[in-house]
């Protein structure tokens, strides 16, 4: 699992005083940098070298996320196929899972314009970050049960 801390900015809020939905794709993309590094250790952005293409992403908004508290993005590998793999991102804030979502990337040759088989050495590195859905659900359930409640400013009751 990769961890990355995001500090929400004022402009990430919207008129409901929550973090707006379009912030999540941006935060999850930053969290994929460590994965990019596995495939592109020198981050070279040329058609010859770059080798990842995003084909799908999804997002579930489970609880509101707020400005004023750091967000921890956790990234797991949940599926490793022949030439593609899927990651699961989670956004945690104040001890609670706020949003999650998947991203599927293809190992791709941008010049020949076709997918490639993921090499074994990369496959091994991806596997280090693998988690199954049941294991993750149980882990999160236990963690949220044990986390102390933080009194957040949620605005709605006192201020409409």
47 binds its own copies (CB under 8 A): yes
Identify whether the C-beta of residue 61 lies closer than 8 Å to the C-beta of residue 27. Answer: no
Residues belonging to the chain: 160
Q: Which helix (H) or strand (E) holds 103?
A: strand 96-109
Residue of 110, 130, 131, 136 interacting with its own copies (CB under 8 A): 110
CA distance 29 to 21: 14
Closest CA to 116 of 124, 107, 125: 107
Identify whether the C-beta of residue 126 lies closer than 8 Å to the C-beta of residue 83. Answer: no
Residue of 1, 2, 29, 122 interacting with its own copies (CB under 8 A): 29
Q: Which stretch binds its own copies (CB under 8 A): 36-44, 90-98, 128-136, 140-148?
A: 36-44
Identify whether the C-beta of residue 88 lies closer than 8 Å to the C-beta of residue 101. Answer: yes
Residue of 3, 68, 83, 137 interacting with its own copies (CB under 8 A): 68
Closest to its own copies by CB, 112 vs 145, is: 112
Smallest distance from its own copies to CB 81, Å: 16
Cβ neighbours for 147, distance < 8 A, ≥ 6 positions apart: 95, 96
CA distance 84 to 107: 6
Residue of 117, 124, 142, 156 interacting with its own copies (CB under 8 A): 156
Smallest distance from its own copies to CB 101, Å: 8
Residue of 3, 43, 142, 150 interacting with its own copies (CB under 8 A): 43
Q: Can you give the binding site for its own copies, defined by CB under 8 A?
A: 4, 7, 9-11, 13-17, 20-23, 25-26, 29-30, 32-33, 36, 42-48, 50, 53-61, 67-68, 110-111, 113, 153, 155-157, 159-160
């Amino acid at each position: 699992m990769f961890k990355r801390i995001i500090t929400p900015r004022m402009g990430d809020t919207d008129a409901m005083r929550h973090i707006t939905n379009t912030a999540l794709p941006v935060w999850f993309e930053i969290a994929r940098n460590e994965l990019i590094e596995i495939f592109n250790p020198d981050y070279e952005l040329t058609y010859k070298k770059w080798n990842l293409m995003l084909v799908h992403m999804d997002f579930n908004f489970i609880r509101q996320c707020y400005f004023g508290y750091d967000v921890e993005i956790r990234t797991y590998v949940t599926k490793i196929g022949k030439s593609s793999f899927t990651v699961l991102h989670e956004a945690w804030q104040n001890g609670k899972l706020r949003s999650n979502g998947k991203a599927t990337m293809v190992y791709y040759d941008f010049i020949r314009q076709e997918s490639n088989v993921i090499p074994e050495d990369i496959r091994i590195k991806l596997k280090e970050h693998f988690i199954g859905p049941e294991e993750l659900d149980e882990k999160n359930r236990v963690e949220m049960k044990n986390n102390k409640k933080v009194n957040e400013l949620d605005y709605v009751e006192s201020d409409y």
